[in-house]
Amino acid sequence: MSSYAEVETRELRKATGDAEAVEARSPFRLALRRFRRDRVAVAALAVLAAIAAFAALAPLWAHLTGHPYSATFPATGLDAGGQPRGPGGRFPLGADQLGRDVLVRAAYGARVSLAVGILAALLAALAGTAAGTLAGYAGGAVDTLIARLMDVTLALPYLLVAIMLATTFQVTSAAASLALTIAVIAFFSFAAFGRVVRGRVLALRRAEFIDAARALGATDARIMVADVLPNLVPQITVLTSLLIPASIVFEATLSFLGVGVRPPMPSWGSMLGEGGDAVQTAWWLLAVPGVLLLATTLSFNLLGDGVRDALDPRAARPADGGGGRP
Amino acid sequence: MTRFAARRLLYALVVLWLVSTLVFVFLHVSPVPVERVIGGPRATADTLAQIRRNLGLDRPLPVQYWLFLGRLLHGDLGDSYINGTPVTTLIGDRLPTTLWLVSGAGVLWFAGGVGLGVLGAIRPRGVRDRAATVFALAGLSTPPFVVALALLQVFATRLGGAGVHLFEAGPPLQEHFLRRMVLPWIALAFLMLASYTRLTRSAMLDVLAEDYVRTARAKGLPERRVVLRHGLRPALAPVVTQFGVDLGALIGSTVVTEKVFGLQGVGQLVYRSITAGDTPVIIGVTLLVTFCVVAANLLVDIGYCVLDPRVRLA
C-alpha cells in the first residue's frame, strides 16, 4: 500500500528524472523539523536531559562522596556551632542542618520529581482522555454524568482535599507515599484534561469522516479508537507535556507541607520544607533545590510550548488561564 | 434572568451540600484518631473511649450526619474537637488575615497581569512581548514557596530591625501591617501574574482583530483610546472571570504562603486541623471555601454581562 504522498513523490521523480530531488515528508517528520529549528525548545530539552542524567547517576554521587542520601554526618557536615557547612570540600553543594549531603539528596530528589511529574501527568492524561472521549462521543446521560463529575472535582478546594487525602491514608513507607502522591495529583488534574478532550471530541463527532466510518459499518468502539483518538494526538501530547511541570510543582508543594513524599526519601519540596529556619541563614539549602525545581519546570513549560508550535504551527498561543496553582 | 439566577442558586446549594457530605463521610470513614491527639500518647483505653463519647463520636454515622445537617441549617458549624471553640469563631478570627492577603495580592496581580498582557498585545512578538512572556512563564514554573522563601531570604532581614521575627506568630495583624504584608502580597501575586498576562494578551489579540476596532481606527480615534476603550474593555471579560474564580479558590489555598510568612490565616488553621483530625474545623473551612468559589462564579457571570456588550446581545 502506498500513500498519496509516496505516489506523488514517485511521479515527481519520474517527471524530473532525478531520484534524489524530492523527498516526501510525513506530518511527524515535518513536526520534528519544526521542533529542531526551535532553539529555545531544543535548549530546554538539553537542560532536561542533563537533569535526567543527574538523577540517573544519583548512586554514583553517593558513592563518590561517600554520603548515602539519608545518612547524617554531624562531625563533618556541621561546624562547631552546629550550623550546616556550605558548599566546598567534602560537601560539593553543602550540608543540611542534620549534616546530610545536599548534592546527593538533590540527585535523589530529582528522581522523585521526574517520576512523580511524568507518571502523574501520564495517569491524568489516560484518565482524562478516556473520560473526555467517552463523554464527548456518547453524549446524553453519560455525558451529563461525567461532565458534572468533572465540574465537582474542579470545584473542590484541591489543596485542602489533597492534604486531607494524604493525611488520612496514614502511609508510612516512602514507596506508598510516592504512589499516593501520584494518585492525588492525577486525580486533581484529570478533570481539566478531560474537559478539553471532551470539547474536541464534541467538535469531531460531527465531522464527515466519522459519518463515513459509520456508513461503512464501523462500531462505536472502533470509531472512537481508530478515528477519534488519532485526531486527538496533538492536543493530548501538548496538554500532557504542560501537565508535567504542573505536577512537579504540585508534588513539591505537598512535600513542602510534609504530606507528599515521606522521609527518608528526599524530594526537592521536602528539602525546602525540612530546611525550615536554617534556609534563611544557609543559602544553599534554598538555592540548590529551588534552582533545580525552577530549571526543571521552566524547561518542561518551554518544551511544551515548543511541542505545540511544532505539532500545530497555526495554533495561536493558548488562551489558558488556570495555570496558577498556589 | 430571575429564572437563570434561581437555577444557579439552586445549583450552588446542591454543590455545597454535596461537598460537605463528601468531606463528612470521608473524614468519618477514615479519620485521624482525634482522641489520640487530645488524650496524648499515654491515655488509657478508657480515657480514649470517654473522649469519643464526649465528642459524640460513638454514635452511629447516620445519627451524627443528621445532627451535623441540623446544626448546619441553623448556621452552626459545631465546636472544635481540640479546644471546644465554636468553628465560626475560629474562622472569624482567621478570615481577615487571609482576606487581606488575597485581596492585596489580587490588586497587584490583576494590575500587573493586565498591564503586561496589554503591552504584549500591542506589539506581538516584539521585545516587550517576549520579555513579558518569559517573565510570565517563570512565574508559572515557580512553586509558591520558592518565591516566598527567596523573598524572605533577600528582603526580610532588611525590612526593619524585627526581620524574620516580624513574620512569626503573635502580634495582631494591625501591628506593622504594611511591613508584614508586602512580601506575602508580592509572593502570591507573582504566582498568579503569569496566567493573567497570558490571558489578557490572547484576549486582547482576539479583540484587536475585530471589525469594530478597525472601524474605530478608521474614524480617526487616537490609538490609546482604541486600545483602552474598544480593545481592553471587552478583553477584560475573561480576565475578570478568572479573577473571580481565583479569588474564591485562593481563600483555601494560601496555606503555603501563610506558612512561610507565619500569617495566622484560614490556611494555617485548616492545615493544623487536618493534621490534628479536628473534623468540624475542616468541614467548616471546606464549606467556606466552596461557598466562596460558588459565590465568585455567580458574581462573575453578572460582571461578564456588564463588561462585554457582545454577551448581552447574545
Packing angle between helix A27-37 and helix A283-311, nearest 10 degrees?
A: 140
Give the tens place of pLDDT for each residue, A66-107: 777 777 777 776 777 767 777 777 777 777 777 788 888 888
CB contacts of B249 in chain A (<8 Å) are 157
- CB neighbours of A235 closer than 8 A, spacing ≥ 6? A196, A197, A200
CB contacts of B140 in chain A (<8 Å) are 245, 301, 323-324
What DSSP designation does A225 have? I
Query: Grid coordinates 517520576 are at which residue?
Result: A115
pLDDT band at B175 (very low <50, low <70, confident <90, very high): low
pLDDT in the model for residue B205: 85
Range in A49-58, B22-31, B266-275, B285-294 with the lowest mean pLDDT:
B22-31
Residue B306 has pLDDT above 70, yes or no: no
Closest-CA residue of B relative to A164 is B274
Q: C-alpha cell of A322?
A: 488556570
Closest-CA residue of A relative to B266 is A160
CB contact under 8 A, B285 and A321: no
Residue A326 has pLDDT above 50, yes or no: no
Range in A217-226, A228-237, B89-98, B131-140 with the lowest mean pLDDT:
B131-140
Reported as type and span, the H/E element at residue A25 is none
- Shortest distance, CA A306 to any CA of chain B (angstroms): 13
Closest-CA residue of B relative to A244 is B141
Residue pair A239/A125 in contact (Cβ under 8 Å)? The answer is yes
Residue pair B79/B236 in contact (Cβ under 8 Å)? The answer is no
pLDDT band at A189 (very low <50, low <70, confident <90, very high): confident
| CB proximity A304 to B under 8 Å | no
pLDDT band at B161 (very low <50, low <70, confident <90, very high): very low
pLDDT in the model for residue B111: 93
Give the tens place of pLDDT for each residue, B55-66: 777 778 888 888
pLDDT in the model for residue A318: 41
Residue A27 CA: distances (Å) to CA of A34, A232, A317, B250? 11, 14, 21, 42
Q: C-alpha cell of B71?
A: 446544626
pLDDT in the model for residue A320: 37
Residue B86 has pLDDT above 50, yes or no: yes
Range in B67-81, B171-185, B271-285 with the lowest mean pLDDT:
B171-185
Highest mean pLDDT of the ranges A67-81, A262-276, B85-99 = B85-99
Higher pLDDT among residues B288 and A126, named by residue = A126
Average pLDDT, chain B: 78
CB contact under 8 A, B146 and A293: yes
pLDDT in the model for residue A15: 61
ipTM over 0.95: no
| CB proximity A189 to B under 8 Å | no
Cα B228 to Cα A272: distance, rounded to the nearest angstrom = 43
Q: Which CATH architecture has domain A37-311?
A: Orthogonal Bundle (1.10)
Give the tens place of pLDDT for each residue, B246-255: 887 777 678 8
CB contact under 8 A, B195 and A163: no
Mean pLDDT of A29-49: 84
CB contact under 8 A, B143 and A297: yes
Closest-CA residue of A relative to B254 is A326
Higher pLDDT among residues B107 and A41, named by residue = B107
CB contact under 8 A, A157 and B271: no
Could you say which of A277, A290, A324 has the minimum Cβ distance to residue B195?
A324
Mean pLDDT of A34-59: 86
pTM of the model: 0.79
List A residues 230-259 in contact with B (Cβ-Cβ < 8 A).
Answer: 245, 249, 252-253, 256-257
Could you say which of B149, B191, B252 has the minimum Cβ distance to residue A272?
B149
| CB proximity A276 to B under 8 Å | no
pLDDT band at B171 (very low <50, low <70, confident <90, very high): low
Residue pair A318/B197 in contact (Cβ under 8 Å)? The answer is no
Closest-CA residue of A relative to B251 is A157
Give the tens place of pLDDT for each residue, B11-25: 778 877 887 787 778
CB contact under 8 A, B293 and A155: yes
Closest-CA residue of A relative to B202 is A319
Cα A27 to Cα A50: distance, rounded to the nearest angstrom = 29
pLDDT in the model for residue A8: 66
Range in A38-47, A232-241, B33-42, B54-63 with the lowest mean pLDDT:
B33-42
- Shortest distance, CA B278 to any CA of chain A (angstroms): 11
- Shortest distance, CA B52 to any CA of chain A (angstroms): 18
pLDDT in the model for residue A10: 64
CB contact under 8 A, A294 and B257: no
| CB proximity A294 to B under 8 Å | yes
Higher pLDDT among residues B36 and B246, named by residue = B246
Question: Which of A103, A85, A84, A83 lies closest to A93, judged by CA?
Answer: A103
Peptide bond before residue A264 is cis, with ω within 30 degrees of 0: yes
Mean pLDDT of A134-156: 81
Residue B304 CA: distances (Å) to CA of A125, B8, B10, B284, B292? 32, 15, 20, 30, 18
- CB neighbours of A146 closer than 8 A, spacing ≥ 6? A131, A134, A135, A194, A198
pLDDT in the model for residue A324: 32
- Shortest distance, CA A290 to any CA of chain B (angstroms): 6
CB contacts of A300 in chain B (<8 Å) are 141
pLDDT in the model for residue A5: 63
pLDDT in the model for residue A50: 92
Give the tens place of pLDDT for each residue, B207-244: 888 888 888 888 888 888 888 888 888 888 778 877 87
| Cβ-based burial of B115 (10 A; exposed 0-12, middle 13-18, buried ≥19) | middle
pLDDT band at A17 (very low <50, low <70, confident <90, very high): low
pLDDT in the model for residue A76: 72
Angle value at C-alpha B80, between B74 and B81, nearest 5 degrees: 125
Give the tens place of pLDDT for each residue, A275-287: 766 666 777 888 8
Residue A120 has pLDDT above 90, yes or no: yes
- Shortest distance, CA B290 to any CA of chain A (angstroms): 7
Residue A20 has pLDDT above 60, yes or no: no
Helix, strand or coil, per DSSP, at residue A264: coil
Could you say which of B19, B242, B274 has the minimum Cβ distance to residue A167?
B274
Domains and CATH numbers, chain B: 1-74 (no CATH), 87-307 (1.10.3720.10)
Residue pair A206/A284 in contact (Cβ under 8 Å)? The answer is no
Please, how many CA atoms are within 13 Å of residue A248, restricted to the half-sphere of its CB? Answer: 30
Give the tens place of pLDDT for each residue, B99-153: 888 989 999 999 999 998 888 888 877 788 878 877 878 887 888 788 888 887 7
Could you say which of A253, A298, A301 has the minimum Cβ distance to residue B256?
A253
